[in-house]
Amino acid sequence: MIFITAKFRVKPEYADNWAEISGPFTQACRSEPGCLWFDWSRSLDDPNEFVLVEAFRDGEAGAAHVQSAHFKEAQHTLPPHLTETPRIVNFVVPQDDWSELGEMAVPASG
């Protein structure tokens, strides 16, 4: 899978509404057949920073994502709400889902 993490620094006046601002793009991305997940989190240290964790099935799905109409639209609609160009880490991982964090295993109830 292609695993991507991106950090978005949102202008303070838009931070509280970022979920609504990015909502149509988020929903469209989650609907892509090759999208495994597309999840936003807000930083605990900086209320204006949002982290996007996304994954796509393979390179073909990743290419379809960046070539989609909703991605092209987001290239125009999202940047006016940002203070800087988003930063990204993008790499191929030889798996297709999350693995368990064994060092913090939760014991079975019983």
Whether 73 is covered by a domain: the verdict is: yes
Q: Quick check: is 17 in a domain?
A: yes
Count of the separate structural domains present in the chain: 1
User: What is the per-residue pLDDT for 38?
Assistant: 98
| Helix, strand or coil, per DSSP, at residue 64 | helix
Structural domain including 42 reads: 2-93
* pLDDT score, position 36: 98
- Quote the pTM value: 0.92
Give the tens place of pLDDT for each residue, 22-54: 999 999 999 999 999 999 999 999 999 999 999
- The count of C-alpha atoms lying within 13 angstroms of the C-alpha of 32, restricted to the half-sphere facing its C-beta, is 28
CA–CA separation, 33 vs 69, rounded Å?
A: 14
Asked if residue 98 is part of any domain, the answer here is: no
User: Is 27 a member of any domain?
Assistant: yes
CATH of the domain at 39: 3.30.70.100
Q: Are 35 and 61 in contact (CB under 8 A)?
A: yes
Summarised one tens digit per residue, pLDDT across range 101-110 is 999 999 988 6
